[in-house]
Structure 1
Amino acid sequence: MALITGLTKGGASWTPTFVESVDHEKCIGCGRCFKSCSRKVLGPVEIEDEETDTINMKMDIVNGDACIGCAGCGVACPKKCFTFATMEA
């Protein structure tokens, strides 16, 4: 099988990289990724920190099927929390 590819407006080949996971250990919950995603793939979730027994807001994938593979969330993230993957057609 071949990788899913697309074309840019200028006609160059482009391979989308879809969001796979968010590293909650690195995430600071700043929301930059959330603001950068026009597809509503990401959203805030409460994550319990077992060491400090506190609840923190972090970003997570809430609608992964809507991801178009632009990787804008990863570009916006100051902590590089995201893992991406390509898909086969």
Structure 2
Amino acid sequence: MACLTGKTRGGADWIPAFAIAIDPEKCIGCGRCFKACARGVLGPEDFYDEETDTERMVMSLVNPDNCVGCGACGTTCPKGCFSFAPLEV
């Protein structure tokens, strides 16, 4: 299978990596990724942490089909919560 590809402004090949998951165990709910995403892919979600027996806010992929594969969310994430993958066509 081939991957969706694009070109950079300089003409180099670019393979976008789309956000496919956020690890709620790592996410601290800081919202940096939410602010970085211009496409409305992310949103807050309540997460029950069994280890601490508390509920806290984490980010989730609320509109994953809006992702353009820019990677801004993962770049701003201080905890490395995101998983990315190219789109196979």
Q: Percent identity?
A: 60
Q: Does 1:45 align with 2:45?
A: yes
* TM-score, structure 1 normalization: 0.94
Count of residue pairs the alignment pairs up: 89
* Partner residue, 1:85: 85
* TM-score, structure 2 normalization: 0.94
- Note the residue ranges of structure 1 that are not aligned, 5 or more in a row: none
Cα distance in 2 for partners of 1:55, 1:87 equals 33
Cα distance in 2 for partners of 1:6, 1:51 equals 43
- Note the residue ranges of structure 2 that are not aligned, 5 or more in a row: none
Cα distance in 1 for partners of 2:68, 2:61 equals 13
- Give the Å deviation of 1:53: 3.0
Structure 1 ranges of 4+ moved more than 6 A: none
Cα distance in 2 for partners of 1:4, 1:78 equals 28
User: For structure 1, which segment, 48-57 or 3-12, has the greater mean C-alpha deviation from structure 2 after superposition?
Assistant: 48-57
User: For structure 1, which segment, 43-52 or 14-23, has the greater mean C-alpha deviation from structure 2 after superposition?
Assistant: 43-52
- Give the Å deviation of 1:76: 0.4
Secondary structure in 2 aligned to 1:79? coil
Taking only aligned residues, the RMSD between alpha carbons, in angstroms, comes to 1.0
Secondary structure in 2 aligned to 1:60? strand
